[in-house]
Structures are given as C-alpha cells and as structure tokens.
Amino acid sequence: MDSKALQGLLGDKAVIADPQELAKYRVDGITPQVVVMPENAEQAAEVIKMANRDKCSVVPLGGGTHAAIGGRLKSADVVLSTRRLDKTIDMDTANLTVTAQAGVRFGDLQDLLAGLENRCYFPIDSDLKETAEYMCSGRDYKGAFIPLDPPSPFDATMGGIVAANTTGPRRLGYRLVRDLLLGVRFVSPTGEIIGTGGKTVKNVSGYDVSKLIIGSQGCLGLVLEMTLRLWPMPENTGALLAAFKDLDAAKDFCDAVLGSKLLPMALELMDATALGLSPVKELELPDGGFAVAVDLAGFNEEVAREFKDLKEMAAKAGAAAVVEFDAMRAKAFWMVLGENSITQTSARFKASYPLSCYGEFMAAVAGLGLGGKLGASISTGNGVAQVYLLDEVEPREAARAGEALRNKALELKGSVVLEHGSPELKELWDPWGPMPHDLGLLKSVKNQLDPAGVMNPGRFPGGL
Amino acid sequence: MVSPELVQKFEEIVGEGNVLTSEMELTLYSYDAYLKPSKPDLVVLPDGTDQVARVVKLAYDNGLPVVARGAATSLSGGPVPLKGGVVIHFSRMNRILEIDPQNRTATVEPGVITLDLQNAVAKYGLQYAPDPASQKTSTLGGNVAENSGGPHCLKYGVTTNHILGLELVLYDGSVVNLGGAMHESPGPDLTGLFVGSEGTLGIATKIIVKLIPQPEAIKTMLAIFNTIEDASNTVSAIIADGIVPATLEMMDSLVIQAVEDSVQAGYPRDAEAVLIIELDGLQDGFERLTKRIMEICHENNVRDVKVAKDNAERAALWAGRKGAFGAVSRLRPSYMVCDGTVPRTKLPEVLKRVVELGKEYDLPIGNVFHAGDGNLHPLILFDQRDPGQLEKVEKVASEVLKICAEVGGTISGEHGIGMEKLKEMEFIFSEDDIGFMWKIKRAWDPEDRVNPGKVLPVLTQ
C-alpha cells in the first residue's frame, strides 16, 4: 500500500515505513509493508477502505499479547495499531458501565475504575429529575471493576481482549466477554463504521452483532470502541492455595468445592510447571503433586465462611499444605501467573471440554511425559484448560504435544486451539483443528462480510 | 394456496393429521401476543430434526417461506407468518433429551416449556436461570429466538448467556451444529449470533443449555412506596451500596390495582409503587445485607417493607409480578406492551415522559419494569374494537421508543423487533449498521426464505 497516501491521510508520525522499525512488527513471520496508527474511527475506516481498493491485507494490533493467535496469516501488508485509540470515553458508575476505545490498556482502565467514587448517585426529586447534589452510600470502600481476568493486563488492550476473547482463571466467578459486552463500534472489513448495542444491560434490537465480533480475531472487523458492564468492588477478597500429593487427592478437593454451595471466583488446578509460573514460594508441592488455587471475593461474611469451609475440605482431601492469601497477595499471585504465562512460554493451547472431564484431561497432560517443559492450568468449574509450553520446546515437539492434547479433547467431545505459537508450529500443526461450529456457515459469513479477504487472511478456522 | 398434492407431500414427511390446513386452524396459527395477524398457507407439526429438515427442503423447493413457532407468547410478531408459507410448530418436539448434572448441561428439543425444564433440573440442585414471565407456557425454542429476558437477568444474564450449543436447520434443509456441551467454545460465537435472531437465520431443532447450581439461600423482600421517586432512589441507593440483587422489579399503581383484582398478591391498593428485591447466594452475610436494604428503604421513605418468611410467601410476592400482564387485561380488552430499555439512571425521567404521553393521548398506561437493568414495560391499555384506537396506540408506543433512544437507550430489551418495530430501527441504527445485518442475514439465508419480513427493515438504496 502506498505509504505516501497513508501519510497524507494520517500524518507522518502515524505511519511507519522504515524497514528497521517495521521488523519489530513482524507477525507470524511476516514483516508488514507499513504500520499505521490512526487516531480516530474515521481514519481507521479510511485505511480499511484503501486496503480494499488496493487489495491489501490488514492486521489489527493491540497490546500484542495474542498477536500470534489462530491460523497462520497468508499475508500482512498493513499492521493497524490501535495505540492511539486510547481514550476512556465514559465511566458511568451509577449505571455500572464503562465505554473505552480499543487501545486502552485493561490494567490502566481497572486502576481508574478502582479509584472511582461509585458509592454515589444523584437522587431524583418529586419531578423525577436528577437533583444537583449527589448522595453517597454508607459503604466504606469504593471502586468498580470489569469482571474479566486477561493475562498480562497492563499490555492487553480492550480491543484485543474482545477480539481474542480472553479471560483467565477467574472466569469461574467473573464473566466471559460475551456476558459483559453491551455494545461495540467497529470498522467492518469493507470500511464502514458499524455500531451495535449501547449502555443498556439488555438489548435485543437487531442481530446481536457484538457476539460475532467477540473472538473474531480481527477477521471480521477492527474494534474501535466498546461498552462493558461493571461490578462494584467486592468488600473483601483473598485466595487459598492447597498442595496435594497426587491428582486424585487434588480432584477430590475440587469436586468437593464444585459440589458445595460456595461461589469461588477461581478453582484452578495446576501442575508443578504451571505453579512454577506463579510467584508462590512457600507452598511445598510433593513430587508429582498438584496445586489448587481458589480465589474468593464477596462480602466479609461470605469470604470468611469460604475460607473456613475450604480449609476443612482441603484437610479432608488430604492436602499436604495450605496457604492463605489476603487481598494484596491474591492479586499479586494471579497477576504474576498471568504475566509469566505470556512472557515465559513459546506456545499456549486452550482446551475446552465438558467440565466434568477435567481430571481425565489433566491425567492426559501428565501422560505426555514432557515433564518440566509443559504446564497445565485448568479452570475446573468451566471445562477449560490452558496448556503452556515453556521457551525451550522445539516446534516439532510442540506439534506432537498439540496433537496429543487435541486427540484427547476430541475424545471428550471438546477441542484444542492454539492461542500463541510460532509460524513453524502453525505450519506443522493446524492451530484450529475440527471446529464445533459449522465451517460452511463460517465461510459464508466471512465471504459476505469480507469479500476481498482483507482482514487477517488465514487466521480464521479453515484458513479463511 | 397450496395444492392438495403438495399438502400430501408434507403429510408423507410428518404423517397424516400433522399437517393443518383448515381455515380455522390457519387462523389459530396467525397471531402471537402482538396485535397483527397474518395467516400461513399450512401448518406442519414435525417430530424430529430429520422431519424438520425435510419439511424445510420441501418448502424451499416449492418457493414457500418457513416460520418456526413455539408457544407464540412473543410480543413483537416473531412467529407470525407475514408472507404466508409454512408454519413449523414444535408441539411434538417437546422432549428434554438429556440432563447431565455432572457437566451442568441439558439438551432439549425446541418445544420444551421453559418451566418444565426448570422443574426438571431443580431435582439435581441445578437451575436454568433465564425466567421470562411467560415461563409457564413459553418454549425454549422461542426463548432462543427472542433472546428472552426475565427478572433474574439482572444477576444472571439473558437467554444467550445460558445457551452453549445448537443444532439448526438452515433455509435449504441442511442441518448444522454450533457450539456444544463445552461451556466455552473456541472461535467466533455463531451460537451467540443466532440467539435473538428471531427465527430469521434458521430453525433450532436442538438446544444445549448451561445449568448453574441453585443458590444456598434466597431472600425476597417487598417494599411499598408512596411515590415513584422514593422507589427509584431506593434502587439507586442499593446499587451504590455495592449490592447487586438477583432482581429489582418495580410496578406502578395502575398495575398494582390490576394485580390485586386478579391474584391478590397482598400489594396495598393505594401504593404508588412496589419494589420486589431478591437476594441470592451464600447465606453468610444475608442478615446484614437484608438489614442494610431495609435501612436503605427507610432512608427513602418506604411505607412498609416485608421479608418473605418461607417459599409460600415468596411465591405469593412473585405471583403478582408474574401475573401482571395477564392482570391488566381486566382493565381493557387489549394492551400493547412496550419494551424500551435505558441506562438505569434514566428510568425515572423516561417514566415521567411516558406518563405525560398517556395523558396527552388519553390512554391509560401501566408500568411494570425491571428497575435494576433499566428495562421498562409500559402497558398501553385500549380496546381494539374501537376504530382508530390501534393506530393511536402504535403512535404512542413509537414515541415511547423514541424517548428511550433519545436518552441513550434502545428500542427492545427483551421482546424483539419482529414486525412491530421495523420502522423504529432507524432510531438507533444507521443504514450502514442495518446493511451489515443484512449481510449476516444473506450469509445464513441467501434467498430470504426463513421468517421473511422480520427484524431488518428493507433499505431503500
């Protein structure tokens, strides 16, 4: 694509065409011809229109934590960075909604929300109009948050989280993007600015287009801006970690928790390698043992009761060791675990299967015999496993591991997809595999919306 | 008109007696709970995916549109066969195929009644959370098509948040699967796109739903107010206190009166507003939260606040709310229910403007609303037999939606666009937005054979 024309459109500083600089934006082994950083929706739309005219491919880029997700790109002519779409548009604490642009970092937004006086609201008068002076509730803590748990929150951008559909261990008590996204604005693959949804919690006006954008990995449009639901900050939080001598004991504990009325935010079963990605040093894991991390949040009485019950359950399941974390240490634990799962791994797989099969899946992971090079962290209440290959694993070995995991998942009526991996791995092994969704329908949707195949060609299932 | 030969071909698929063609039968399948009927050419009652697929294929080959129909409790004309054709009614496909308590899923046919599923899974200590007020008659297939809401959606989300997988018959009779028994499926969320598409993208023949554990404890409270503003301020104050109840439901005086006339839920007739507040979760802390909510009610001049002592009392408090739509029909033979949704804090302002509209047009308007999530249901009461009334009511309803759109809200929270709100789509969507939706429609149904004439207005360009 003509970088002069792009400079004319966006300004010199918003266009990178210097080969040395461009090399830093390699994606799936391809160096783009140009990197652009539009500062508003209209500019972004214009870039995509130009790409349609010039038959160029466009690769959206947020924080880069999931830049190597999905199938291998067939081409990457223009990398479109959302870096300058970084404005927080509306934080409406009384309605518990937030609207932000795609390039806003998740962690920054959470910090802003945590400091908000969301205890306050404008009462209405007898004329049903909001009065000028606000009232504040009696609660002695403030703040709201987005109940999502993406790894590497200070790198991950809001747009990237929606496009890659990311969350983490706290998916059990928190929500998924699909449960929180109330509205989204995006540029369609043909360059129109499309808006859907808004600030209302319920909305069935027209098709639920936002669902199509979640997890679309940049193949069906460029996310510009979104509105998400918020939760009020919980009164109390904490976490409990327990070590077990083997998988059976750890599973007994998880099953006891799942069968109880407790409402933990996470119930994460981890092998030694996955635990090694966390900052925990004080939990002695027996050889061949497993750890379970339980995250708690709620009112003081709830959290106290949960700690008490969990300790009893852990003891009953024969826990070798138990560690309790207060709010600060719990936060640090999840943060570092997520961060390291991104920075210290060469490949990441996400497995899904019916949720009662988690023990069988973990046993299969352990049976791969990759020892300290492979780690699994399983969200037991969700039927989801994150499997990490540490840095030193060769692509061929990674492909074999991926295939073995996939075969196991398929046997359980589930799936394994690649969330991060090298181009070499993607050549050796299909990052998607058999999909639960009908491929013909997906193809038909992609062809209708992106007839020129401009957006992230090759990344979608089936090489679309 | 469909030829006797073609009728016979449909009969060969679904069996004799399962194709309805008499004038009376066609009339019975011509309407839902919205106000404008349109008759099908014939109605078929298939049993099983294979029969549905063959029926759709036969209709396709003969140029007839197809429209799926559950219990037709829908409020915007979703299952009304606007362009005639074949109505596929799911009364025979009403089996719960599997309840899998270990994996917390259930697989059902589309004709299963929502409450039947809820009762069936309750035995396992589980719940299917979405609870549309019509759950006693509405079907899961209809809930999926409309993405139905309900009082408990404040905490648990609407239907779409509980649908994991679907088996669909597409426009030409082909059968596809989306999602599955996994709680998180990889790739783009086609399941989520289908839910709420009002039967215009295909026909669901199997539905896999997510089940969640029943809460340990439930506390239901009824707060009675002398003014709407006190009730509204109570809602704001509860949420500002960091409490997100499972439900926050409000009813105004006209609805209170109608409810008392019909089910005697124990609401005082001279109250201006009642609020049903329900908490659920762990029982620890409930005592403090309940006390705190009562305090908040008192700070906002509540007249009286009761806590249901047992399940029977809880059921009685809810009976009024769930029966509200039925109850108002005592006041006038017809009603139009609007379904605007606004950011919650805008509710009082919108409510006031709705009341003014009613006065201006001389139409009684009752209000039932999901106060916690800003979804209001003004019920405009009238008599359809009076000439000119329907036109007037439609005008008022459209103005209500305009007000909702103006304050940053939307024209449907849970009842859908159907045929009712096609022209109001432009209040909230640009031509490009609607054009994008048309592309989605064409990807699924290139020849516009499945429930044509709904959801998407025809663009002039």
Cα separation, B357 vs B401, in Å, equals 12
A211·B189 Cβ contact <8 A: yes
Query: Pick from A56, A51, A61: which is nearest to A75 by CA?
Result: A56
Residue percentage of chain B with pLDDT more than 90: 80
CB A386 within 8 A of CB A348: yes
The Cα B118–Cα B122 span in angstroms is: 6
Residue intervals of chain B classified under CATH 3.30.70.2740 are 332-406
pLDDT of residue A309: 98
**pLDDT tens-digit map of A212-257:** 999 999 999 999 999 999 999 999 999 999 999 999 999 999 999 9
Stated pTM of the model: 0.95
What fold does the segment set B96-213 form as a domain? 3.30.465
pLDDT at B421: 93
Q: Give the architecture-level CATH label for domain B217-326.
A: 2-Layer Sandwich (3.30)
In the three-class reduction of DSSP (H, G, I as helix; E, B as strand; rest coil), residue A286 is classed as coil
Contact list in B for residue A209 (CB cut-off 8 A) is: 193, 436-437, 440
- CB-neighbour burial class of residue A141 (10 A; exposed 0-12, middle 13-18, buried 19+): exposed
What's chain B's average pLDDT?
Answer: 94
Beta strands in B259-395 (DSSP E): 273-281, 304-307, 334-337, 365-370, 375-382
Domain at A236-428: CATH code: 3.40.462.40
| CB A179, CB A192: distance < 8 Å | no
pLDDT tens-place string over residues A364-378:
999 998 878 999 999
Chain A residues with CB-CB distance to B153 below 8 A: 201-202
Summarised one tens digit per residue, pLDDT across range B365-418 is: 999 888 988 999 999 999 989 998 989 999 999 999 999 999 999 999 889 999
Residues of chain B with CATH 3.30.70.2190: 217-326
pLDDT digits over B251-270, tens only?
Answer: 999 999 999 988 888 889 99
A166/A384 Cα distance (integer angstroms): 12
Q: How far is B104 from chain A (nearest CA, A)?
A: 8
Q: What is the mean pLDDT of residues A283-293?
A: 95
Does residue B51 register a pLDDT over 90? Answer: yes
Asked which of A161-170, A194-203, B427-436 is least confident by mean pLDDT, the reply is A194-203
pLDDT exceeds 90 at position B150: no
Model confidence at B461: pLDDT above 70: no
Instruction: List the domain boundaries for chain A.
Output: 88-232, 236-428
Question: Cβ distance A388 to A375 under 8 Å?
Answer: yes
A207 contact residues in B (CB cutoff 8 A):
193, 196-197, 437, 440-441, 455
Q: Is the dihedral of CA A395, A400, A405, A409 positive or negative?
A: positive
Nearest CA in chain A to B201: A207
Cβ separation of A436 and B177 shorter than 8 Å?
yes
Average pLDDT over residues B107-117: 98
Q: Is B131 on the interface with A (CB under 8 A)?
A: no
Chain B nearest-CA distance from A17, in A, is 32
How many residues appear in chain B? 461
**Ranges assigned E (strand) in A202-337:** 222-229, 231-232, 236-244, 266-270, 290-298, 321-325
CB atoms within 10 A of CB B404: 30
Q: CA nearest A144 in B: which residue?
A: B242
CA of B455, closest CA in chain A: separation in Å?
6
Report whether pLDDT(A313) > 90: yes
Q: How confident is the model at residue B348 (pLDDT cuts 50, 70, 90)?
A: confident
Closest partner CB to A355 (pick from B103, B177, B439)? B103
- Cβ distance of A383 and B184 shorter than 8 Å: yes
| pLDDT tens profile B64-84 | 999 999 999 999 999 999 999
Q: Mind telling me how many Å the CA of B105 is from chain A's nearest CA?
A: 9
> Are A435 and B213 within 8 A, CB to CB?
no
Chain A residues with CB-CB distance to B280 below 8 A? none
pLDDT of residue B46: 98
DSSP string, A24-76: TT-BTTB--SEEE--SSHHHHHHHHHHHHHHT--EEEESSSTTTT-SSPPS--
Pairing of strands B273-281, B217-225: antiparallel
Calculate the CA dihedral of residues A157, A159, A163, A164 and round it to 10 degrees: 10
Going by C-beta distance under 8 Å and a sequence separation of 6 or more, which residues neighbour residue A259?
none
pLDDT of B317 reads 87
Ranges for all domains in chain B classified under CATH 3.30.465.10: 96-213
CATH ID of A88-232, from 3.30.465.10, 3.40.50.620, 3.40.50.360, 3.50.50.60 = 3.30.465.10
Q: Are A270 and A358 in contact (CB under 8 A)?
A: no
If one looks up domain B4-89 in CATH, what number appears?
3.30.43.10
- Name every residue whose Cβ is closer than 8 Å to that of residue A61 and which is 6 or more positions away in sequence: A25, A27, A35, A67, A79, A80, A81, A82
pLDDT of residue B1 exceeding 80? no
| B243: confidence class by pLDDT, cuts 50, 70, 90 | very high
Element (H, E) at A186: strand A181-187
Q: pLDDT averaged over chain A?
A: 94
Which of A129, A302, A461 faces B282 most closely, judged by CB atoms? A302
Q: Are the beta carbons of A212 and B236 separated by less than 8 Å?
A: no
- The pLDDT value recorded for residue A136 is 84
What DSSP character marks residue B161? G
What average pLDDT does range A402-427 have in this prediction? 95
Q: Which CATH architecture has domain B332-406?
A: 2-Layer Sandwich (3.30)
Cross-chain CB nearest to A121 (options B240, B342, B370) = B240
